[in-house]
Amino acid sequence: MRYWVLVVLVGALVGVGALGEEPSPTPLIRGLASFVVPGLGQYLNGEYEKALTHFVVIVLVDVGSSYAAHALPYLPWWTTGALHTLWALYSAVDAYQTALELEGLTLELSPSGFALNF
């Protein structure tokens, strides 16, 4: 899954570079920041309530799934990491798309592939 996020982010930067404009690294930095610490990219975008929500959700997911994995004999231990990764990925994509919109760009998925609109 991380591979596809990297492909999308690099593809967006390459697509903008092919248009002759120098791409801004800001959306990529904010997306990566939010992947490492969910909510950090939203905070850097100026969405403070959303940043707090993303951070609180990741803490609750980590604590809750870790507790459930230890308490329930049928819940595998790797569910904590899987849920954390999924939420971090969602948070990173959200921060990246918001940063693109703040710069007047949008990244859309169409039937023919990805489209970068500005």
Q: What is the pLDDT of residue 66?
A: 86
Q: Which of 15-24, 43-52, 55-64, 80-89 has the lowest mean pLDDT?
A: 15-24
Map residue 43 onto helix, strand or coil.
helix
Tell me how far apart the alpha carbons of residues 39 and 95 are, in angstroms, rounded to a whole number: 8
Q: Give residue-wise pLDDT tens across range 3-19.
A: 666 666 666 666 555 55
Query: Three-class SS of residue 117?
Result: strand
pLDDT in tens, 73-82: 887 888 888 9
Share of the chain above pLDDT 90, in %: 47
Q: How many angstroms separate the first and last alpha carbons of the chain?
A: 27
Average pLDDT of every residue of the chain: 82
